[in-house]
């Protein structure tokens, strides 16, 4: 992967989004090898990537390998609990010095010929050094190549572009909102991984619109809950509470991060409460009562939890926040889910799902174990992802139909797909970050029901 010179003028992008028809997405963007090659060369080397959760490297000298395309990066905890990263390649003959995760007490040693590196990446030993020509073992030239690494939101992030703005600036406005949710206090409780036979953008797009929910997830369309209420229709407060709890149960089924089982139990304890007869007042009363009960339950256990009612008052109660291009956090009540997508080829993606929870003092879970990668049709998938995974492989195949030319987006309900695709085009065109940042701040917002928006290019 090579960094694009940001001083160059915009480069041509095949199958680019038509600025006059931003609600149409050319199908080739999801499978054409040349378009995929452009993403490899011009997108992924310039963006911040979530390399690992910090609890994967909880102690000094712990390390984890992060792979993206043909690149491998070692992410390492330092003595002062900071984080640094290096390219995972010995400077001798390119052997990857680590695999997976582990702990290195004094540094790294290449398993092939024994070249050694300190925790700072500096070369600390070359067997039979004097047998090499001096120009091949010059001090400084044989150190591990550093990779830019920053910490934010409970994760370590890497970027191959040293000129990119800081990670937090690139993640706004999601960064400010997720910090208000105290996402850095969340810990991984469950971790899943799926191999999806689809393009990485297609996989992401299945989760950034609500248009599909009623058809794909019929168990979430519950009569009597807030999303099914119609103006002027009779309102039954008791039925409303029962429907709301049924919704939380469905969202929690095998996916504790979406709605944690602890929060469901708290909600069930409120089943007998009285609500006003006015629907709007009933909804607000229920929301505040449930928020208060969830906060009280966690604070009794000395867990770090924000004031959820205050988040509601600030409008920080959307449940989905993207961090372009491949990471998402879905906070709800006390927990959250997070997704990470990595391309494995033009039509293959690795998707990971974390269920994140809050724990009281002394109750933190053990370091999470990397998951077995399941196929998209594995019967072990919980209901909600299983339903999503049943659609997108069929969609990927359908894109190859001779008569199908482009996706026709609903400008109001699916506009975020257009915003994301056009932001990708900005990177592929080699635009400088000063022009890309405004676009990032458009796509890093709650995506549901967002219209096609002006990105500034």
Domains, the chain, with CATH or none: 49-159 (2.102.10.10), 215-313 (no CATH)
**For residues 73-97, b (16+ Cβ closer than 10 Å) or e, as one string?**
bbbbbeeeeebbbbbbbbbbeeebb
pLDDT at 228 over 80: no
Give the pLDDT confidence score for residue 233 in this predicted structure.
78
Q: How do residues 177-209 score in pLDDT, each as one tens digit?
A: 999 999 999 999 999 999 999 999 999 999 999
Give the pLDDT confidence score for residue 9 in this predicted structure.
59
Burial (CB count within 10 angstroms: exposed 0-12, middle 13-18, buried 19+), residue 39 = buried
Average pLDDT of the chain, as a whole number? 94
Averaged pLDDT for residues 319-323? 94
pLDDT at 175 over 60: yes
pLDDT band at 26 (very low <50, low <70, confident <90, very high): very high
Q: Are 268 and 245 in contact (CB under 8 A)?
A: yes
Q: What is the dihedral of CA 420, 178, 287, 273, to 10 degrees?
A: 130
Quote the CA–CA distance of 83 and 53 in Å, as a whole number. 11
> How many CB atoms within 10 Å of residue 391?
15
Q: What is the pTM of this model?
A: 0.94
> Hey, which residues does 73 pair with through a beta bridge?
66, 87
pLDDT band at 338 (very low <50, low <70, confident <90, very high): very high
Place of tokens 């890093």: 444
The answer for residues whose C-beta is within 8 angstroms of residue 30's C-beta and 6 or more apart is 198, 199, 201, 202, 346, 347, 396, 399
Quote the CA–CA distance of 224 and 186 in Å, as a whole number. 32
Averaged pLDDT for residues 420-436? 97
Give how far Cα 339 sits from Cα of 140, 147, 286, 298, Å: 38, 23, 29, 24
pLDDT at 8 over 70: no
Give the pLDDT confidence score for residue 364 in this predicted structure.
80
Lowest pLDDT segment from 3-12, 74-83, 182-191, 198-207 = 3-12
Quote the CA–CA distance of 432 and 93 in Å, as a whole number. 34
Averaged pLDDT for residues 299-323? 94
Q: Are 453 and 35 in contact (CB under 8 A)?
A: no
Q: Are 350 and 194 in contact (CB under 8 A)?
A: yes
Widest CA span of the chain, in angstroms? 88
pLDDT at 1 over 80: no
Tell me, letter by letter, the H, E, C secondary structure of the chain. Answer: CCCCCCCCCCCCCCCCCCCCCCCEEEHHHHCCHHHHHHHHHHHCCCCCEEEEEHHHCCCCCEEEEEEECCEEEEEEECCCCCEEEEECCCCCCCCCCCCCEEECCCCEECCCCCCEECCCCCEEECCCHHHCCHHHCCCCCCCCCEEEEEEECCEEEEECCCCCCCHHHHCCCHHHHHHHCCHHHCEEEEEEEEEECCCHHHHHHCCCCCCCHHHHCHHHCCCCCHHHCCCCCCCCHHHHHHHHHHHHHHHHCCCCCCCCHHHHHHHHCCCCCCCCCCHHHHHHHHHHHHHHHHHHHHHCCCCCCCCHHHHHHCCCCCCCEEECCCEEEEEECCEEEEEEEEEEECCEEEEEEEEEECCCCCCCCCCCCCCCEEECCCCCCCHHHHHHHHHHHHHHHHCCCCCCCEEECCCCCCHHHHHHHHHHHHHHCCCCHHHHHHHHHHHCCCCCCCCCCCCCC
């Amino acid at each position: 992967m090579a960094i694009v010179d940001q001083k160059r003028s915009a480069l041509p992008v095949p199958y680019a989004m038509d600025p006059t028809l931003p609600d149409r997405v050319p199908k080739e963007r999801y499978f054409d090898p040349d378009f995929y090659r452009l993403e490899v060369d011009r997108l992924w080397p310039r963006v911040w990537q979530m390399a690992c959760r910090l609890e994967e490297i909880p102690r000094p000298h712990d390390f984890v390998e992060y792979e993206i395309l043909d690149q491998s990066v070692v992410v390492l905890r330092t003595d002062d609990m900071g984080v640094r990263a290096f390219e995972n390649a010995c400077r001798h003959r390119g052997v990857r010095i680590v695999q997976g995760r582990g702990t290195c007490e004094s540094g790294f040693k290449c398993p092939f010929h024994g070249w050694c590196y300190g925790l700072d990446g500096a070369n600390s030993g070359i067997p039979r050094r004097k047998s090499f020509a001096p120009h091949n073992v010059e001090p400084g030239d044989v150190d591990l190549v550093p990779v830019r690494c920053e910490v934010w939101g409970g994760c370590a992030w890497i970027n191959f572009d040293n000129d990119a703005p800081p990670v937090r600036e690139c993640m706004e406005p999601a960064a400010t909102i997720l910090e208000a949710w105290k996402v850095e206090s969340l810990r991984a409780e469950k971790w899943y991984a799926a191999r999806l036979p689809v393009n990485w953008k297609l996989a992401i797009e299945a989760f950034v619109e609500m248009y599909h929910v009623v058809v794909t997830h019929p168990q979430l369309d519950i009569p009597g809950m807030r999303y099914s209420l119609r103006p002027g229709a009779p309102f039954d407060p008791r039925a409303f509470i029962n429907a709301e709890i049924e919704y939380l149960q469905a969202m929690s089924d095998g996916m504790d991060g979406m709605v944690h089982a602890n929060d469901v139990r708290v909600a069930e304890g409120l089943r007998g409460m009285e609500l006003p007869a006015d629907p709007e007042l009933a909804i607000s009363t229920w929301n505040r009562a449930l928020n208060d009960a969830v906060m009280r339950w966690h604070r009794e256990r000395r867990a770090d939890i924000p004031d959820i009612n205050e988040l509601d008052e600030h409008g920080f109660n959307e449940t989905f926040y993207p961090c372009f291009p491949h990471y998402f956090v879905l906070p709800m009540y006390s927990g959250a889910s997070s997704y990470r997508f990595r391309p494995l080829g033009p039509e293959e993606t690795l998707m990971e799902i974390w269920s994140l929870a809050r724990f009281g003092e002394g109750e933190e879970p053990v370091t999470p174990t990397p998951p077995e990668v399941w196929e998209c049709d594995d019967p072990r998938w919980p209901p909600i992802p299983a339903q999503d995974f049943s659609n997108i492989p069929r969609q990927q195949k359908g894109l190859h139909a001779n008569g199908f030319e482009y996706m026709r987006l609903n400008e109001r309900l699916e506009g975020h797909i257009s915003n994301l695709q056009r932001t990708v085009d900005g990177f592929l065109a080699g635009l400088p970050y000063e022009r890309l940042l405004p676009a990032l701040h458009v796509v890093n917002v709650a995506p549901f029901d967002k219209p096609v928006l002006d990105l500034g290019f």
